[in-house]
């Protein structure tokens, strides 16, 4: 049996155990096309042979920029890695300037793109990237070389012995990938992850996920260029799960109904949106159906794991599951029982209500620099505690610094930042990676994240404010889509708020209030402002006086990745948001 030491060992391990027919499945022209484990490896070896014929040497860099997750990405990944080269995935939605920076900084020799829009951006800066020899596309695009040309170039198996030699020479401690984190400020940083970094993280996290060997079906749609989704896809391969690739974020609902997944990854914003849609449908009901729906919601919001609420609650829960929550599950394909949540803290009420519906959202914690998992919840063995990021995974050590910062040590900690020894030495001290997150470990060994160290600020009165805690609480309101708490060095905290425009329109229609049609009109409407003020005042009661939001301004823009408000993993780009709304900032604090 293959011993897994390098990333490309995962599909070979799967082949020895299960040559599954639907290993990787992508939708082309409206039809799901499956690739078996054997075909996956055959094509990866073909790519390896072609890359050797193109002159790719050990430690050369190959960039891949794909708008959607797809079979080709994974074939390229294995084809690149097993000849000792490195895969440099790039977020498709970043600017052309960032494309140029990453392609130059990594010295990528070739770039593979998914579609015309990505190709357009690469073409705009290609003349500024002298090391880039050629661009290939996955989609058929006129005037662009296609990756199928490499499948033709590699058909001749006469140099497969060279591929085998290259494979055998790849050490577990060798560099596997450079992942450029978009970050919330400054230029992208190239996080160097070795084969061992990611392999150890996969194997040390795998026992936290209750998969049946060869029985689970995964839907993959979070960006594969991020280590979170990528690492999870290696876990899927380890367990011989079938991986279906979602077409786009817009089509996830349709894809879930087609694929009927048993597992998928999520981020809090996605889970919030699913919940909002469910609640909106419940609000459209009437009479006894509506009362039953919201009775079940109230039961779900009281959920505690392991029957901690006692016999009568469990009886109520059983009825709620039969009458209401079973329909939620049907709406998510009928078989979904696990969502692995990362990227940011999940609102506890969402963890409760989805668990009540038997759709368990297992929250975890980690960073790109830690490959990424540090801790994760697990429903089994009393390993699930709502409001925490779970227990620390095997072989990883955590300690809390005097200022509350989480420090991490283990085989998952990155090799360093590419071409930046100074930044590396600042981040890793005595073997411990300084996460920049503030947290605590409770008496049962569960890790709780309280805020980002860099995002905490002091008011002029010297009081610390943790914005994420306040923002998460505020986003529980159906009126609030996005919020950023501000106030560093000021006498009081305030906020920029993007209303949930869809819900605000529904609320206005129910109450016969004319708020106008445009987002600008809605944000200027006094009745909307007063209603959102009530929401803010209600949430403020949960916080100390120095933490309470005293003023806010509504923004008509829909905060998005493309708009520059959010990182590709849906975190706030605080510096960018502050710059966009500097006039509102002046209005608040003048």
Q: What is the pLDDT of residues 156-171, one digit of tens each?
A: 999 999 999 999 999 9
pLDDT level of residue 256 (50, 70, 90 thresholds): very high
Looking at residues 241-249, what average pLDDT do you find?
94
Looking at residues 435-453, what average pLDDT do you find?
89
Contacts of 157 (CB under 8 A, 6+ apart): 49
- Percent of the chain topping pLDDT 70: 99
Identify the residue whose tokens are 């620390």.
Answer: 392
pLDDT level of residue 184 (50, 70, 90 thresholds): very low
Q: By mean pLDDT, which of 22-31, 144-153, 581-590 is the weakest? A: 581-590
Instruction: State the number of CA atoms in the 13 A half-sphere of 478 facing the CB.
Output: 14
pLDDT single digits (tens) 44-95: 999 999 999 999 999 999 999 999 999 999 999 999 999 999 999 999 988 8
Q: So what's the pLDDT on residue 164?
A: 98
359 pLDDT more than 80: yes
Could you give phi then psi for residue 454, rounded to 5 degrees?
Answer: -70, -20
Looking at residues 323-340, what average pLDDT do you find?
94
- Taking Cα atoms as reference points, which of 51, 64, 180 lies closest to residue 118? 64
- Taking Cα atoms as reference points, which of 113, 108, 181, 166 lies closest to residue 144? 113
Burial of 308 (0-12, 13-18, 19+ CB in 10 A): exposed
185 pLDDT more than 60: no
pLDDT single digits (tens) 278-296: 998 999 999 999 999 999 9
Listed by start position, the domains of the chain span: 9-170, 263-451, 457-589
Q: By mean pLDDT, which of 313-322, 424-433, 440-449, 471-480 is the weakest? A: 471-480
pLDDT level of residue 182 (50, 70, 90 thresholds): low
Tell me the torsion sign for CA atoms 442, 444, 447, 449.
Answer: negative
CATH topology match: 9-170 vs 457-589: no
186 pLDDT more than 70: no
- Percent of the chain topping pLDDT 90: 78
Q: Tally the residues of the chain.
A: 590
- Taking Cα atoms as reference points, which of 547, 529, 357 lies closest to residue 465? 547
183 pLDDT more than 60: no
248 pLDDT more than 90: no
- Mean pLDDT (the chain) is 93
Looking at residues 406-428, what average pLDDT do you find?
96
Beta bridge partners of 339: 264, 361
Considering the entire predicted model, what is its pTM?
0.84
CA–CA dist 573, 308 (Å, integer): 39
561 pLDDT more than 90: no
CA–CA dist 351, 230 (Å, integer): 24
Superfamily of domain 457-589: ANL, C-terminal domain (3.30.300.30)
More confident residue, 447 or 469: 447
Structural Rg of the chain based on CA atoms? 25
Q: So what's the pLDDT on residue 423?
A: 93
pLDDT level of residue 370 (50, 70, 90 thresholds): very high
Tokens describing residue 202:
């996969």
- Taking Cα atoms as reference points, which of 418, 415, 442, 438 lies closest to residue 428? 415
**Can you tell me whether residue 192 is helix, strand or coil?**
strand
Beta bridge partners of 341: 266, 363
Q: By mean pLDDT, which of 168-172, 211-215, 260-264 is the weakest? A: 211-215
Q: So what's the pLDDT on residue 425?
A: 96
**Can you tell me whether residue 524 is helix, strand or coil?**
helix
Domain 9-170 has CATH 3.40.50.12780: yes
Domain 263-451 has CATH 3.40.50.12780: yes
């Amino acid at each position: 049996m293959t011993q897994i030491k390098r990333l490309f060992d995962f599909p070979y391990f799967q082949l020895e155990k299960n040559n599954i027919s639907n290993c990787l499945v992508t939708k082309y022209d409206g039809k799901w096309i499956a690739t078996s484990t054997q075909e996956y490896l055959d094509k990866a070896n073909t790519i390896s042979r072609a890359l050797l014929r193109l002159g790719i040497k050990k430690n050369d860099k190959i960039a891949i920029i794909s708008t959607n997750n797809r079979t080709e990405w994974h074939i390229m990944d294995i084809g690149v890695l097993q000849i000792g080269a490195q895969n440099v995935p790039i977020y498709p939605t970043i600017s052309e300037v960032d494309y140029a920076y990453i392609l130059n900084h990594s010295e990528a020799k070739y770039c593979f793109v998914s579609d015309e829009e990505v190709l357009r951006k690469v073409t705009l800066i290609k003349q500024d990237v002298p090391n880039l020899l050629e661009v290939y596309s996955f989609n058929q695009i006129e005037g662009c070389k296609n990756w199928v040309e490499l499948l033709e170039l590699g058909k001749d198996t006469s140099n497969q012995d060279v591929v085998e030699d290259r494979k055998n020479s790849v050490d577990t401690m060798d560099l596997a990938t450079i992942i450029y984190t978009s970050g919330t400020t400054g230029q992208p940083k190239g996080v160097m992850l070795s084969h061992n970094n990611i392999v150890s993280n996969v194997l040390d996290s795998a026992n936290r996920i209750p998969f049946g060997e060869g029985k689970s079906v995964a839907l993959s749609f979070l960006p594969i260029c991020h280590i979170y989704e990528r690492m999870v896809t290696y876990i899927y391969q380890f367990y011989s799960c079938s991986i279906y690739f979602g077409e786009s974020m817009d089509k996830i609902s349709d894809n879930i109904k087609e694929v009927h997944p048993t597992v998928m990854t999520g981020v809090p914003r996605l889970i919030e949106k699913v919940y909002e849609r469910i609640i909106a449908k419940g609000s459209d009901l009437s009479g006894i159906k509506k009362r039953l729906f919201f009775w079940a919601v109230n039961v779900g919001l009281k959920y505690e794991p392991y029957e901690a609420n006692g016999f009568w609650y469990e009886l109520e829960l059983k009825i709620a599951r039969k009458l209401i929550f079973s329909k939620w599950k049907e709406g998510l394909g009928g078989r979904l029982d696990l969502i692995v949540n990362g990227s940011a803290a999940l609102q506890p009420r969402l963890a409760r209500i989805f668990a009540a519906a038997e759709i368990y959202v297992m929250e975890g914690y980690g960073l790109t620099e830690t490959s990424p998992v540090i801790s994760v919840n697990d429903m089994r063995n009393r390993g699930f505690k709502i409001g925490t990021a779970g227990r620390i995974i095997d072989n990883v050590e955590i300690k809390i610094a005097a200022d509350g910062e989480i420090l991490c040590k283990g085989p998952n900690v990155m090799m360093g930042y590419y071409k930046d020894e100074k930044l590396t030495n600042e981040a890793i001290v005595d073997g411990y990676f300084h996460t920049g997150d503030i947290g605590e470990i409770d008496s049962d060994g569960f890790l709780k994240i309280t805020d980002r160290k860099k995002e905490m600020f002091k008011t002029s009165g010297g009081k610390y404010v943790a914005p994420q805690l306040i923002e998460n609480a505020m986003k529980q309101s159906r009126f609030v889509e996005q919020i950023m708490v501000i106030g560093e060095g000021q006498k009081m905290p305030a906020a920029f708020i993007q209303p949930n425009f869809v819900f605000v329109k529904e609320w206005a229609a129910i109450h016969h209030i004319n708020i106008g049609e445009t987002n600008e009109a809605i944000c200027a409407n006094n009745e909307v402002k007063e209603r959102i003020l009530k929401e803010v005042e209600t949430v403020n009661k949960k916080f100390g006086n120095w933490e309470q939001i005293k003023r806010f301004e509504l923004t008509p823009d829909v905060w998005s990745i493309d708009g520059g408000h959010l990182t590709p993993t849906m975190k706030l780009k605080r510096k960018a948001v502050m710059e966009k709304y500097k006039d509102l900032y002046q209005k608040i604090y003048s």
